[in-house]
Amino acid sequence: MRYLITFSYDGSNFFGYQKQLHKRTIQNEIEKALFLINGNKNVSIHASGRTDALVHALNQKAHFDLNKELPCLNIKNALNSLLPKDIYIKNVEQVNNNFHARFDVKYKEYKYIINTGLYNPIERNYVYQYNKNLDIDNMKKGIELLIGTHNFKSFCKTNNEQLDYIRTIIKANIEIEDDKIILTFKGNGFLRYMIRNMVGTLIKIGENKINYKEINNILKKENRIYAFKTANAEGLYLNDVFYKE
């Protein structure tokens, strides 16, 4: 039977989502718990995508197969009793055996949080402590230029060699809550470090070191060297995953 889980995690003490030998990862922890639930038989989980070290998730999704049918609530409760406290299973549902948590994704939504106020040691693992003022109006003009279908090669990891760099962003906006800037990106897919590289460039715009229209030139160059410093990982959250009908 195939099941889909919705789960959140605090990425602070993980080496990212993806399973790695001798390193603490989210995938490792969940698969260890499922091994016990499945009668000491290995279970592979397939997530909507991976997140890097220190990145958090509010509504990550993954599917897995069990060799027996179990009530969804029982699976949820069993997982939460076995998992460490920095991972929490929010929902379990049974899905069609053809469903795939990664390949059936329609959109993903990420949020990035920047603190422009006083340094906050309590939030240092969850909000990027920039701690200086930024020109929000210019940043809002810049982020709007990222909406649409573009080649985002300039905003992906330097050595990320792949055939397709075309992605569509359907929503990109900035909201202000007290001293915090919250950037939201919703699209059909994101390249590795893409959001953090876009945020790093938007910060340069907020510092008034480049004009917001430079976003268009950076996209056209299709080369990572023209974008700016990668923003810190701790401010990034996978907010939600949306599936095709």
Residue of 76, 81, 78, 87 whose CA lies nearest to 24: 87
CA pair distance 28, 16, nearest whole angstrom: 10
Rounded to 10 deg, the angle between the 26-37 and 72-82 helix axes is 120
Q: Are strands 56-65 and 236-243 parallel, antiparallel or unpaired?
A: parallel
Token pair belonging to 71: 């009530």
Q: Taking the C-alpha atoms of 143, 148, 153 and 157 in order, what is their torsion angle to the nearest 10 degrees?
A: 50
Indicate which residues carry an active-site annotation. Answer: 52
∠ CA 191-86-114 to the nearest 5 degrees? Answer: 50
DSSP string, 113-148: EEE-SS--GGGTTTSEE--S---HHHHHHHHHTT-E
Distance of alpha carbon 117 from alpha carbon 97, whole angstroms: 49
Helix (H, G, I), strand (E, B) or coil at 200: helix
CB of 194 closer than 8 Å to CB of 167? yes
